């Protein structure tokens, strides 16, 4: 059985490679015949049985859907192993006019005050305009360098904006120092400046992925050499470049002070969205046991995709919040980490139950339906409580699980064990986030003290002292 699973996974990798190659190159999908033969799980000699066989059949269906999207008709099914180039319908890049409705929908979707995209667009437009208005009256040339520096530095999150601002300033200082030294050593020679400008531009693009500061170093040197070809002396170019870069970076950082977009205060809402999506996904899986029909599986698939989207949004917000210099008001980093682990455990239990879904001819499990209703209702109510910083309660789920355990003739111990794991994960989540206001304030103060100690230890090279009980 293990060898058969390894064969299936290797064949699935071949199929996904073929689908990616077809999408990238716009050519028919070409699945190796041996991989197509391995993916046949409907033969009499199939060694997998029970849940393992059902999982393998579901894997083959998903791979067939992927190939159908990538290469059109004839990519892979149970009766064909080759593609027909004449009948294939490839994914083509849409034209600009066909993209206009997509752009309009995206803009309308983000036209709200709490949208990070909208806030970043407003911040970027204001900073660029203000930078140009401030730099234009100054007695320096190339006043547009200030807004360009702001635009190149600013990102939707604070951490990347701060890192790029520091990198751009450090790279600019190093670049102009390097270029100035070479200009003074070599003298005014347009041909030499042209060669150095080409070399600097090449190094700037070469080091683009190595680090922003390295790339900016040679970009600044390229500008100095390029202006030197036009007759500008380094005494004119270098101060302008440094002053305007510093002005653009300062405006970019000031924008976050006046119009912040911190993710730290939004963590409870992101976590609540993930909890509610997980509750709907778990309820859909449980209903698949209660009534194993095709419609139930379709509902489960949609709920799974929504749960993954909510988890991705939480993970992105959590990663950004960990790097923000903001005192946590809703969730401390320890609470957020514990809550994340609890919901991951809830996810694992649900996916384990999904991997053992029964076939359409299996008997119904009414206890699963009652637990699904209680679980969905409790998670939805707990999501609202989490947004309002109230304690979480799983009363209905606990009652349904207790009634399930006492039900006569229950012949689904695996399913009930999965439900118990879900309930335990929810209890861990409540323990992680449900605290009194006084405990929350004390936890926030300890978190701030721990961060300050860590920063101080980075400065003197010593280890932070352990927090007292």
What's the mean per-residue pLDDT of the chain? 81
Nearest to 81 by CA among 17, 31, 21: 31
Domain coordinates in residue numbering, the chain: 1-101, 117-258, 264-434
Q: pTM higher than 0.75 for the full model?
A: no
Torsion (CA) 299, 305, 307, 308 in degrees, nearest 10: 160
Q: Whose structure tokens read 């380094």?
A: 234
Going by the DSSP 8-state scheme, the letter that residue 94 receives in this structure is P
Q: Taking residues 286-307, what's their average pLDDT?
A: 86
Does residue 438 register a pLDDT over 50? no
pLDDT band, residue 377 (cuts 50/70/90): very high
Per-residue pLDDT tens over the stretch 46-74: 888 777 887 888 888 888 888 887 765 33
Per-residue pLDDT tens over the stretch 145-193: 889 989 988 888 888 888 888 888 899 889 988 888 888 887 777 888 8
Percentage of the chain modeled with pLDDT above 70? 83
pLDDT band, residue 469 (cuts 50/70/90): very low
Q: Is 363 left (phi over 0), alpha (psi -120 to 50) or beta?
A: beta
Does residue 82 register a pLDDT over 90? no
pLDDT band, residue 126 (cuts 50/70/90): very high
CB atoms within 10 A of CB 420: 14
pLDDT band, residue 383 (cuts 50/70/90): very high
Does residue 451 register a pLDDT over 60? no
* 3-class secondary-structure state, position 264: helix
pLDDT band, residue 83 (cuts 50/70/90): very low
Nearest to 325 by CA among 158, 91, 129: 158
Per-residue pLDDT tens over the stretch 213-246: 899 899 989 988 888 777 666 666 777 778 888 8
> Thinking of the domain 264-434, which architecture would CATH place it in?
Up-down Bundle (1.20)
pLDDT band, residue 77 (cuts 50/70/90): very low
277 burial via Cβ count (<10 Å: 0-12, 13-18, 19+): buried
In this structure, which long-range contacts are made by residues 447-450, counting pairs with CB atoms below 8 Å and at least 24 apart in sequence?
447/327, 447/328, 447/332, 447/333, 447/334, 448/327
pLDDT of residue 453: 58
pLDDT of residue 323: 84
Per-residue pLDDT tens over the stretch 244-254: 888 888 898 88
Q: Whose structure tokens read 């005494």?
A: 235
Does residue 80 register a pLDDT over 60? no
Q: Are 365 and 289 in contact (CB under 8 A)?
A: yes
Q: Taking residues 396-415, what's their average pLDDT?
A: 74
Per-residue pLDDT tens over the stretch 386-404: 888 888 889 999 998 888 8
pLDDT band, residue 411 (cuts 50/70/90): low
pLDDT of residue 52: 80
Of 111-125, 215-229, 427-441, the range with the lowest mean pLDDT is 427-441
Percentage of the chain modeled with pLDDT above 90? 23
Q: Is 74 left (phi over 0), alpha (psi -120 to 50) or beta?
A: left
pLDDT of residue 452: 57
Q: Which residue has the higher pLDDT, 22 or 215?
A: 215
The tokens for 15 are 């199929």
- Crossing angle of helices 116-135/234-258, nearest 10°? 140
């Amino acid at each position: 059985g293990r060898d058969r699973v390894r064969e299936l996974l290797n064949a699935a990798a071949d199929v996904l490679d073929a689908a990616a190659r077809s999408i990238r190159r716009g050519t028919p999908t070409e699945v190796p015949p041996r991989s197509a033969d391995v993916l046949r799980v409907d033969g009499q000699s199939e060694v997998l049985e029970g849940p393992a066989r059902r999982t393998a059949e579901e894997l083959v269906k998903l791979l067939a859907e992927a190939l159908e999207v990538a290469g059109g008709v004839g990519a892979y099914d149970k009766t064909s192993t080759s593609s027909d180039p004449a009948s294939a319908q490839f994914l083509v890049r849409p034209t600009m006019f066909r993209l206009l409705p997509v752009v309009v929908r995206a803009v309308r979707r983000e036209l709200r005050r709490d949208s990070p995209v909208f806030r970043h667009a407003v911040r970027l437009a204001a900073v660029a305009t203000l930078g140009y208005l401030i730099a234009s009256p100054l007695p320096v040339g190339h006043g547009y360098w200030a807004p360009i520096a702001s635009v190149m530095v600013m990102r939707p999150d604070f951490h990347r904006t701060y890192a790029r601002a520091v990198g751009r300033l450090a790279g600019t200082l190093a670049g102009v120092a390097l270029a100035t030294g070479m200009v003074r050593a070599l003298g005014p020679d347009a041909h030499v400046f042209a060669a150095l400008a080409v070399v600097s531009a090449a190094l700037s693009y070469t080091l683009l992925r190595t680090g922003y500061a390295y790339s900016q170093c040679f970009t600044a040197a390229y500008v100095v050499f390029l202006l030197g070809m036009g007759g500008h002396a380094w005494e004119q170019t270098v101060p302008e470049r440094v002053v305007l870069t510093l002005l653009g970076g300062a405006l970019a950082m000031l924008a976050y002070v006046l119009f912040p977009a911190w993710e730290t205060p939004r963590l409870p809402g992101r976590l609540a969205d993930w909890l509610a999506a997980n509750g709907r996904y778990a309820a859909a899986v449980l209903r698949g046991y209660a009534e194993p029909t095709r419609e139930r599986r379709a509902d489960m698939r949609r709920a799974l995709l929504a749960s993954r989207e909510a988890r991705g949004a939480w993970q992105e917000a959590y990663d950004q919040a960990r790097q923000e210099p903001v005192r946590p008001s809703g969730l401390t980093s320890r609470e957020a980490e514990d809550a994340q682990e609890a919901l991951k455990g809830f996810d694992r239990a649900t996916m384990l139950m999904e991997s053992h879904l029964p076939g359409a001819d299996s008997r119904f499990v009414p206890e699963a339906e009652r637990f699904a209703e209680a679980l969905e209702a409790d998670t939805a109510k707990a999501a609202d409580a989490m947004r309002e910083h109230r304690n979480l309660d799983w009363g209905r789920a606990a009652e349904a699980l207790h009634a399930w355990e006492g039900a006569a003739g229950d012949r689904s111990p695996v399913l009930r064990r999965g439900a118990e794991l879900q309930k335990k994960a929810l209890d861990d989540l409540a323990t992680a986030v449900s605290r009194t206001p006084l405990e929350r304030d004390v936890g926030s103060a300890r978190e701030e003290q721990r961060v300050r100690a860590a920063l101080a230890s980075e400065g003197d090279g010593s280890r932070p002292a352990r927090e007292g009980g």
